[in-house]
Structure 1
Amino acid sequence: MVRTETLATRERLLDVADEMLADKGIRATTMSAAAERAGVSRAWLYRLFPDKNALVGAALVRMVETTWERNHAELEAIDGFEDRLVAGVQIGRRAYDDPGATLMRLRTAEPEEFAAAIGVGVAGLVPDLAAFWHRYLQAAVGDGEIHADTDVDEASEWVARVLISLGSVPGNRLDADDPASVRRHFRRYVLPALRLAPEH
């Protein structure tokens, strides 16, 4: 019962943070205002989120996560692990670069604050994204697209890290907005690695 109440309070605080971020931005979002608006004590807020970056980071990551069920539907409609990986990068790019999205507006208007908060929030993103991709790696093993001895848990985390990097960190040699460039990268590096027998 306590856990259910805690989760409900956490979600209420994140709902409030979403509203405040959309209305006021990161700088103007304060812990005291969030607690007051959510109807919880500041002590309870700090118990769940030790500082503002933890609260804002969790809210930013949740904005991304709320699209994941829709993303699953999109990926489930695609045949083949390679095509799913390419689509995954495009999905990731849309999450951060949709011009109308709150995420994009915050990242553009308050880049330092955004980076600090998302850095805290991303601490939970790798395991969550690994869990998201687990079913697709499991299917790729079953379909013979990657090696049968692949440690799916470990490989899912690696794929998550690759996708986060491709989706959010610019580079000189790969255009993450160009599916052909992304596909070439996967064919040269990621897929060959996953097809090898894992070393023990």
Structure 2
Amino acid sequence: MTDQPSDRHGNSRASDSQADEEARERLLAAADACYEDKGPTRTRMGDVARRAGVHRSTVYYYFPTKDALLAASFLRVLTSTLNGVEECWQTDEPFLAQLVAACLRGTHVARNSAVMRSLVDDHEGLGAAYRAAEGSELWRARLADALVRRLETAAAAGEIRQDLSPDTLARWIVRVTFSLVTEPAQPEDGGDDGVLRNLLVASLMPRL
């Protein structure tokens, strides 16, 4: 029995997609290693190509600009962080208690990322990575899956304020948590937990 042409074409597309994903991952791993060695700002596309053992044009094929590569690396850290906090949502606690636990866990995961540490040490690179990532569709999709839908449910249940959109609240949460990743709260301010409970939670509570 011979394969149908559509099956061959489908298998070919699936194979190409997998090969592209593997190539992207190899390049991102090479970029991460370069960021750790030289910092994001000093890393050039040629450095990544040499580390990956490919021609520079291959890097540009998958990542057309340096900022695009940096954003993709940053988004990998974001994805790893969001995956690492998933268990914080699987409890019987009120939503805001779950949120604080997730933010605390997220800051711990991100701070232990070598890539994030290299970004934090390179303020120019960190700003470029955050801006580029924030403007991407993948960033919005990650936030929608991890936060926005949960915020919608919490708002409908009366657990958080309803006068602002879940998208706006999600951006608040990310910015506050990200600021704690880059600069941990002082003990006299209650540490990270104190900032989250007294600042973030207070800003999200239902309006009277």
Kept in 1, the 8 Å contact 2:85–2:106? The answer is: no
Kept in 2, the 8 Å contact 1:92–1:163? The answer is: no
Q: In the alignment, what sits opposite 1:114? A: 126
Q: In the alignment, what sits opposite 2:117? A: 104
Q: Which has the larger radius of gyration?
A: 2
Q: In the alignment, what sits opposite 2:67? A: 53
Measured in 1, the distance between the counterparts of 2:119 and 2:22 equals: 26
Kept in 1, the 8 Å contact 2:104–2:193? The answer is: yes
TM-score of the aligned structures, taking structure 1 as reference length = 0.71
Q: In the alignment, what sits opposite 1:167? A: 177
Q: Please say if 1:158 is aligned against 2:168.
A: yes
Which of 8, 21, 24 is 1:10 aligned to?
24
Kept in 2, the 8 Å contact 1:16–1:34? The answer is: yes
Please give the residue correspondences for 1:48-197 in structure 2 after superposition, counting only pairs within 5 Å.
48-77=62-91, 79-98=93-112, 101-108=114-121, 110-124=122-136, 125-134=139-148, 136-137=150-151, 140=154, 145=159, 155=166, 157-169=167-179, 177-192=191-206
Q: Judge which range, 88-97 or 123-132, deviates more.
A: 88-97
Measured in 1, the distance between the counterparts of 2:28 and 2:93 equals: 35
Q: Deviations over 1:47-70 (max 9, x none)?
A: 321221221221123123223222
Kept in 2, the 8 Å contact 1:88–1:163? The answer is: no
Kept in 2, the 8 Å contact 1:86–1:183? The answer is: yes
Find the residue that maps to 1:192 and give its secondary structure.
coil
Q: In the alignment, what sits opposite 2:8? A: none
Question: Structure 1: which 5+ runs fail to align?
Answer: none
Q: Please say if 1:35 is aligned against 2:49.
A: yes
Question: Structure 2: which 5+ runs fail to align?
Answer: 1-12, 181-188
Residue 176 of structure 1: CA displacement? 8.8
Q: Comparing both chains, which one has the higher relative contact order based on Cα–Cα distances under 8 Å and sequence gaps of 6 or more?
A: 1
Measured in 1, the distance between the counterparts of 2:152 and 2:99 equals: 14
Residue 159 of structure 1: CA displacement? 3.2
Which of 22, 39, 60 is 2:36 aligned to?
22
Residue 142 of structure 1: CA displacement? 7.7
**Partner amino acid for 2:116?**
L
Residue 166 of structure 1: CA displacement? 0.8
Kept in 2, the 8 Å contact 1:107–1:115? The answer is: no
Measured in 2, the distance between the counterparts of 1:30 and 1:55 equals: 10
Q: Deviations over 1:105-132 (max 9, x none)?
A: 4322x22222223321332334312321
